[in-house]
Amino acid sequence: MELAILIFIGIYVVVYRKNKGQNVYKFIADQAAMVYNKYAPYSYKIVKEKAKELKQEYTIRQYGMQVLLISGGALAISWLYFYDIIISLIYCGVATMFIPYIAYLRYKKIYSEFIFEQIQVYTTNTIMEFAVTESFVKALEGVYSSGVLEDPVSTDVKYMIDLAYQNGSIDEALDYMNKKYDYYMVHNMHQLFLQVTKEGSKSAAKDSLDSMLLDIDTLVEGVYSDRMERNSFHKSFLQYGIMLYLLVMLIQYLLGVDTYLSLIENMWIVKIILHAIIICNTYFLLNGEKYYNENVGAE
């Protein structure tokens, strides 16, 4: 225990001496962010930038609270399992390493919600523009020039327009958008526009377009309902996950703390089982977090 404390103090002193006059926490956070940005997947950089643009990026205080809760929780839980400060500090360090991944999941959720809202705006406005212009490309130009879309959807719509003029048809433009945004309402709208363009049945398409607008409204209501259910599930899930960690306290109560300590000191298999329990519970929690934050708005 004393060795671990001395190592921690030594690291703090070295960092402080090298960065005198600068907040030590800020220096560590900046260095960690620099390393993670360098090696992070491209998608992480995209979603983080969009979260920053939407003013939903973590503040330093929020990061600090998250570090405190996760590392402190890992320290406390691992101490209750092993009563070993070295093992607890290792778990504390490993838990802290998962914080950027948890932040990425949150940013991904924000980005997914933003994209879904943009796709809703794209499909609704394109259908309304088409009702006036009776031309898919003209409808796209109207939506693009209106400024209701934001990047990356706005840029992709402009690319669709360029593809349509370049190829003299909308097939490749529709295929590009379908692959980029794999949503039910996007595929259905494009399929209908393709049919109208190929067959020229514009008058017959009016009722179908009106029905599609109603379908989009119904879908949006379903997505917002799903978000509320996910939020409710998330709270219950976290409570359940924490309770799983604390089951070891029940075991200690039934066996007695002295008997429990004797088991983990004299039987290596018990330690392996306890490590396995922590790892399985952590995997369970991370999977739940992944489910909660991904594919928001996707069908």
Q: Tell me, what's the pLDDT at 104?
A: 86
Q: Which two tokens stand for residue 295?
A: 């594919």
Q: Which two tokens stand for residue 122?
A: 């794209």
Q: Tell me, what's the pLDDT at 86?
A: 92
DSSP 294: S
Q: Which residue has the tokens 């306890």?
A: 274
Q: Tell me, what's the pLDDT at 29?
A: 54
Rg (CA), the chain: 27
Q: What is the C-alpha to C-alpha distance for residues 140 and 210, in angstroms, rounded to an integer? A: 18
Whether 176 and 160 have beta carbons less than 8 Å apart is answered as yes
Q: Tell me, what's the pLDDT at 18?
A: 53
Whether 113 and 77 have beta carbons less than 8 Å apart is answered as no
pTM of structure: 0.73
**Which residue type does 80 have?**
L
Q: What is the largest CA-CA distance in the chain?
A: 83
Residues in the chain with pLDDT values less than 50: 1-10, 12-13, 15-17, 21, 24-25, 39, 41-42, 299
Q: Tell me, what's the pLDDT at 142?
A: 93
Q: Which two tokens stand for residue 24?
A: 């030590």
Q: Tell me, what's the pLDDT at 36?
A: 53
Q: Which two tokens stand for residue 159?
A: 């690319």
Q: Tell me, what's the pLDDT at 42?
A: 47
Q: What is the C-alpha to C-alpha distance for residues 57 and 217, in angstroms, rounded to an integer? A: 29
Dihedral angle over CA of 42, 44, 46, 51, nearest 10: -170
Q: Which long-range contacts does 163-167 make (Cβ < 8 Å, 24+ apart)?
A: 164/136, 164/137, 164/140, 165/137
Q: Which residue has the tokens 């979603």?
A: 47
Q: What is the C-alpha to C-alpha distance for residues 296 and 171, in angstroms, rounded to an integer? A: 28
